[in-house]
Amino acid sequence: MAASQEPGAPRLAALASLIADETRAACLLALLDGRAWTAGELARHAGVAPSTASEHLGKLVAGGLLAQERQGRHRYVRLADAQVAQLVESLAGYAVPGGGERPRTLRASSARDAMARGRTCYDHLAGRLGIAVADGMAERGLLRVETGFSLTDAGLAWFRALGAPLDPASGGRRPLVRGCLDWTERRHHLAGVAGAVLCRHAFDSGWVERIGSERAVRVTGVGAGVLGAELGVRVP
Cβ atoms 197, 170 nearer than 8 A: no
Collect contacts of 50-56 with beta carbons under 8 A, ≥24 apart. 52/23, 53/23, 53/27, 56/21, 56/23, 56/24, 56/27
- Distance in angstroms (rounded) separating the CA atoms of residues 39 and 77: 7
100 pLDDT higher than 70: no
136 pLDDT higher than 90: yes
pLDDT in tens, 143-156: 999 888 999 999 99
- Given this model, what pLDDT does residue 180 score? 87
Q: Confidence band (pLDDT; 50, 70, 90) for 109? A: low
Judged by average pLDDT, the poorest of 111-120, 186-195, 220-229 is: 111-120
pLDDT in tens, 167-215: 766 656 788 999 988 878 888 899 999 999 999 999 999 999 998 766 8
DSSP one-letter string for 12-30: HHHHHHHH-SHHHHHHHHH
What's the DSSP call for residue 148?
Answer: B
- Average pLDDT on 98-120 reads 69
94 pLDDT higher than 80: no
* Per-residue exposure over 195-227, b if at least 16 CB sit within 10 Å of its own CB, e if not: bbbbbeebeeeebbeebeebbbbbbbeebbebb
Q: Confidence band (pLDDT; 50, 70, 90) for 1? A: very low
Judged by average pLDDT, the poorest of 76-90, 95-109, 168-182 is: 95-109
End-to-end CA distance of the chain: 55
- Given this model, what pLDDT does residue 61 score? 95
- Given this model, what pLDDT does residue 71 score? 82
- Distance in angstroms (rounded) separating the CA atoms of residues 145 and 194: 14
- Given this model, what pLDDT does residue 104 score? 60
Q: Pairing state of beta strands 119-121 and 37-38?
A: unpaired
Closest CA to 118 of 44, 207, 205: 207
Q: Confidence band (pLDDT; 50, 70, 90) for 122? A: confident
Q: Domains in the chain, please, with CATH?
A: 3-80 (1.10.10.10), 84-231 (no CATH)
Count Cα atoms within 13 angstroms, Cβ side, for 140. 19
Cβ atoms 53, 46 nearer than 8 A: yes
pTM, 2 dp: 0.75
Helices (DSSP H) in the chain: which residue ranges?
9-19, 22-30, 39-46, 50-62, 82-95, 106-117, 127-139, 153-162, 192-204, 221-231
- Average pLDDT on 63-76 reads 88
Cβ atoms 85, 32 nearer than 8 A: yes
- Given this model, what pLDDT does residue 141 score? 95
Q: How far is CA 148 from the centre of its chain?
A: 19
- Given this model, what pLDDT does residue 121 score? 86
- Given this model, what pLDDT does residue 107 score? 62
Judged by average pLDDT, the poorest of 93-97, 196-200, 225-229 is: 93-97
Q: How far is CA 195 from the centre of its chain?
A: 10
% of the chain residues with pLDDT over 90: 54
14 pLDDT higher than 70: yes
Q: How far is CA 133 from the centre of its chain?
A: 15
